[in-house]
Amino acid sequence: MSTLRPTGPSRRHRSRGQGLVEFALIAPMFFFLIFVIIEGGRFVFYYHTLNHAVREGARYAIIHGPNAVDGCPSGPPAVNSEACDVDGDNVRKAIEEAAFGLAGIGTLTIPNPSYYGPNGNTNARGSNVTVSVSYVYPPILPLFSNITISAESTLVVNN
């Protein structure tokens, strides 16, 4: 009795390119998912950095009220005092220093801080100061367009 052998290619030879085809089908989705996760992580980092910078700017503004120890209060002066940072340049500088991770990557827009409250629009103790910042986030994936992130912090002047 003789054993019959198949005349066509063996099973091993027929599946030689199967792994390559499976990789070609799955790899684009896998790499896209990895890049989306990286992009999401970058966005959360920039969002957190922007919020931290705005809080630092507001903190600078409330500490440098009309009775500031360094002699350079921020904001519009109260009735009988002077301010050397009426335009909020020092507050903007504090925001830029705290937003070190955003430097040179997108567009950071910092308007003047606004003061309001029971003492009018001054930096007197008990007034509120609002600091706001907007940032244009440039994604690394070309599928997404630029995203504008805004942050705002309101605190009470306590000095």
Residue 63, in any domain of the structure: yes
Q: Helix, strand or coil for residue 28?
A: helix
pTM of the model: 0.77
Residue 152 has pLDDT above 90, yes or no: yes
Residue 146, in any domain of the structure: yes
Residue 24, in any domain of the structure: no
Residue 79, in any domain of the structure: yes
In Å, how far from its chain's centre is CA 37?
16
Structure confidence at residue 15 as a pLDDT band (50, 70, 90): low
Residue 7, in any domain of the structure: no
Residue 21, in any domain of the structure: no
pLDDT average, residue stretch 141-151: 88
**What is the span of the domain harbouring residue 83?**
34-156
Residue 91, in any domain of the structure: yes
Number of domains in the chain: 1
- Give me 27's structure tokens: 């790899």
What is the C-alpha to C-alpha distance for residues 37 and 24, in angstroms, rounded to an integer? 21
pLDDT at residue 14, as a whole number: 60
pLDDT average, residue stretch 57-74: 82
Residue 40 sits at φ, ψ, to 5 deg, of -65, -40
